[in-house]
């Protein structure tokens, strides 16, 4: 294949276009408003595990957005009602079978919903778009107990390291508890937990959920869920945190950790925090990787098979 040619076949690109059309129709039928928000912003996420791509515009440092989340929540605070968006997003990460630094994201928010109600709606969405079976639902804690025989909420770093070793994962570098949990999740659980039907994993540790409400039933967990299907991480959703003061503190804690990790702490999104202060309606939201969704819908194994031009051909 010559470098100028597309990564995906024209046949696959036509199927991808049909899938995106079906996505739009799903939300139109449910009275969602389709919106567009800026790809360039004066601020970005503080998550230590997500790196934004910087851009210089008019002698100012701006950021290509890793997700449209903050801007969409500003629309919600302004009274938009239920909204969705299909847009490009950017992250400074390696290319691979499931990753591309530039990707397409679907994000939607429903006022009046908590994360359990949004999981129900997303289950219907997946059945409609992928023609798959109804999803399974399980807590993060029970998932680890089932597959690894360990409680992720009470296990120590030493116990998690030993669990990793038992699963043929040997890391000499010092890792914090969440690092071990993420490693075990990605290496030992994700590949096997969702072969036959999607699985919703909910009530993640609060330390991994900077934008979600803390659970009313267990303060160690937060109202966050992720969706996996056929070994692919597909979506990340929250019952959205609406307290501006608490959100600011979480951002500052993230930036402190970034500094400790030798990473550049970005400026906080003050406009987003102002919107929270003005009043974000009680709502739930979720972000879905459209390229990965297309991979599943077309029964393909590599992301470049559904991209017009993957990173090396861009």
Query: 285 - beta bridge partners?
Result: 109, 238
> Do 108 and 160 lie in a common domain?
no
For residue 161, pLDDT beyond 70:
yes
Q: List Cβ neighbours of 59 (8 Å cut-off, separation of 6 or more).
A: none
Asked if residue 213 is part of any domain, the answer here is no
Asked if residue 255 is part of any domain, the answer here is yes
Asked if residue 221 is part of any domain, the answer here is no
Q: Would you give the DSSP letter of residue 58?
A: T
Show which of 192, 207, 223 is a domain's final residue: 192
Asked if residue 216 is part of any domain, the answer here is no
What pLDDT band is residue 126 in, cutting at 50, 70 and 90? very high
> Do 178 and 80 lie in a common domain?
no
> Do 164 and 44 lie in a common domain?
no
Q: Model confidence over 95-105: pLDDT tens digits?
A: 899 999 999 99
How many domains, in total, are found in the chain? 2
> Do 188 and 112 lie in a common domain?
no
> Do 160 and 50 lie in a common domain?
no
Residue 227 in tokens = 């969706």
> Do 107 and 251 lie in a common domain?
yes
Asked if residue 166 is part of any domain, the answer here is yes
Please compute the mean of the pLDDT values over residues 228-250 and round it to a whole number: 96
pLDDT of the residue at 1 = 67
Asked if residue 126 is part of any domain, the answer here is yes
Residue 294 in tokens = 């297309």
What pLDDT band is residue 2 in, cutting at 50, 70 and 90? confident
> Do 24 and 131 lie in a common domain?
yes
Asked if residue 37 is part of any domain, the answer here is yes
> Do 76 and 155 lie in a common domain?
no
Q: Model confidence over 254-311: pLDDT tens digits?
A: 999 999 999 999 999 999 999 999 999 999 999 999 999 999 999 999 999 999 999 9
Residue 172 in tokens = 């000499």
pLDDT of the residue at 116 = 97
CATH number of the domain that residue 254 is part of: 3.30.930.10
Q: Model confidence over 245-256: pLDDT tens digits?
A: 999 999 999 999
Asked if residue 282 is part of any domain, the answer here is yes
**Reading across the β-sheet that carries 60-64, which strands appear in turn?**
40-41, 60-64, 53-57
DSSP H helix total and E strand total for the chain: 9, 11
- Integer Cα distance of 47 and 50 in angstroms: 6
Please compute the mean of the pLDDT values over residues 227-243 and round it to a whole number: 96
pTM of the model: 0.95
Query: SS3 of 158, please?
Result: helix
Please compute the mean of the pLDDT values over residues 112-139 and round it to a whole number: 98
> Do 25 and 121 lie in a common domain?
yes
What pLDDT band is residue 51 in, cutting at 50, 70 and 90? very high
For residue 94, pLDDT beyond 90:
no
Please compute the mean of the pLDDT values over residues 30-55 and round it to a whole number: 96
> Do 130 and 33 lie in a common domain?
yes
Kindly report the average pLDDT of the chain as a whole number.
96
Please compute the mean of the pLDDT values over residues 54-81 and round it to a whole number: 97
Please compute the mean of the pLDDT values over residues 178-192 and round it to a whole number: 95
pLDDT of the residue at 174 = 84
Query: SS3 of 110, please?
Result: strand
Check if the beta carbon of residue 288 is closer than 8 Å to that of residue 229. Answer: no
Provide the residue range defining the domain that includes 86: 10-135+243-313
> Do 122 and 155 lie in a common domain?
no
What pLDDT band is residue 93 in, cutting at 50, 70 and 90? confident
Residue 26 in tokens = 């799903």
> Do 121 and 25 lie in a common domain?
yes
Check if the beta carbon of residue 258 is closer than 8 Å to that of residue 48. Answer: yes
């Amino acid at each position: 294949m010559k470098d100028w040619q597309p990564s995906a076949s024209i046949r696959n690109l036509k199927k991808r276009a049909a899938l995106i059309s079906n996505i739009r129709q799903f939300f139109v039928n449910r009275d969602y408003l389709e919106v567009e928000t800026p790809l360039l912003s004066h601020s970005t996420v503080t998550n230590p595990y997500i790196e934004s791509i910087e851009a210089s515009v008019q002698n100012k440092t701006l950021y290509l957005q890793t997700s449209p989340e903050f801007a969409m929540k500003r629309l919600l605070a302004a009274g938009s009602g239920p909204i969705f968006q299909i847009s490009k997003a950017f992250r400074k990460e390696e290319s691979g079978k499931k990753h591309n630094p530039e990707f397409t994201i679907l994000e939607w928010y429903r006022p009046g919903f908590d994360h359990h109600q949004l999981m129900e709606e997303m289950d219907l969405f997946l059945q409609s778009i992928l023609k798959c079976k109804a999803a399974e639902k399980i807590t993060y804690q029970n998932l680890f107990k089932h597959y690894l025989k360990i409680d992720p909420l009470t296990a120590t770093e030493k116990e998690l390291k030993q669990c990793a070793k038992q699963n043929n994962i040997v890391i000499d570098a010092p890792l914090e508890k969440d690092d071990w949990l993420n490693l075990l999740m990605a290496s030992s659980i994700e590949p096997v937990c969702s072969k036959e039907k999607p699985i919703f994993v909910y009530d993640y540790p609060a330390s991994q959920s900077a934008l979600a409400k803390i659970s009313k039933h267990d303060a160690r967990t937060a109202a966050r869920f992720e969706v996996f299907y056929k070994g692919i991480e597909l979506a990340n959703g929250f019952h959205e945190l609406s307290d501006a003061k608490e959100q600011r503190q979480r951002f500052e804690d993230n930036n402190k950790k970034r500094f400790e990790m030798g990473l550049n702490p970005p400026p906080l999104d003050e406009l987003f925090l102002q919107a929270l202060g003005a009043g974000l309606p009680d709502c739930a939201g979720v972000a879905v990787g459209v390229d990965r969704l297309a991979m599943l819908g077309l029964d393909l194994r590599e992301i470049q098979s559904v991209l017009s031009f993957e990173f090396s051909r861009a």
